[in-house]
Amino acid sequence: METLIPTWKNGELQPVEKMQAHLQGLRHKAVSVFVMQGSKTLLQRRALSKYHTPGLWANACCTHPEWGEKGLSCAIRRLNEELGIIGQTPVYKDTVEYSADVGNNMIEHEVVEIFVVRSGHVLVRPNPDEVMDYRWESLKDLYKKISNEPAQFTPWLKIYLEQHSAKIFPGHTK
């Protein structure tokens, strides 16, 4: 059975299979984590086996909480499952909503709790089923690369940086 995620149907939060939520473009809960070392952020390149946006660069971790799971618990769990990152406590920054076409007839209509990890040292051990590559990128260079090569990045990363960067990275200017 596929993972059940919190999704709004008929105005109520209900458990819905993740794939069904994306195929129907249903509004659902999500979690997104940025891992920072100074002005550099951790990017992951999504594995080619991912059912949407394979091979594209995204922020450190993006996922959906399971039915009944709290956002912070989900962020901690997925940092470990995707990137092998343990011993870090993400800090809640904001909740944002967006809708984006992610290919394969799927829509991400997400209400996202955004978390940030700030650490001087993070050991990254990516899960190859989730992540094909990773890199640290300065925010300044990331803005340039997204501007020059937008097709290399996930829709949500572009939305976060274009519309919500002041909340995620207070004090940072483009």
In this structure, what CATH number is given to the domain that contains residue 61? 3.90.79.10
pLDDT of residue 144: 97
Which residue ranges in the chain fall short of pLDDT 70? 1, 173-174
| Per-residue pLDDT, 115 | 98
State the Cα–Cα distance between residues 93 and 32, nearest whole angstrom: 10
Dihedral of the alpha carbons of 126, 132, 136, 141, in degrees to the nearest 10: -160
Number of structural domains in the chain: 1
Domain that holds residue 98: 4-168
Is-contact 106 100, C-beta < 8 A?
Answer: no
Rounded Cα gap, residues 86 and 81, in angstroms: 9
Instruction: Look at residue 91 and tell me if it is in a domain.
Output: yes
Q: What is the pTM of this model?
A: 0.94
174 assigned to some structural domain: no
**Considering the domain boundaries, does residue 173 fall inside one?**
no
Give the pLDDT confidence of 91-137 residue by residue, as tens digits.
Answer: 999 999 999 999 989 999 999 999 999 998 899 999 999 999 999 99
Cα 166 vs. chain centroid, distance in angstroms? 17
Q: What distance in Å separates the CA atoms of residue 65 and residue 58, rounded to the nearest whole number?
A: 18
Rounded Cα distance between 123 and 83, Å, is 9
Q: From residue 143, how far is each of 28, 84, 111, 153 by CA, in Å?
A: 28, 26, 23, 11
Q: Which residues neighbour 31 within 8 Å (Cβ) at sequence distance 6 or greater?
A: 61, 62, 63, 64, 65, 71, 74, 75, 78, 112, 113, 115
HSE (side-chain half, CA atoms, 13 Å) at 44? 30
Known catalytic residues are 62, 110
pLDDT of residue 173: 64
Length of the chain measured in residues: 174
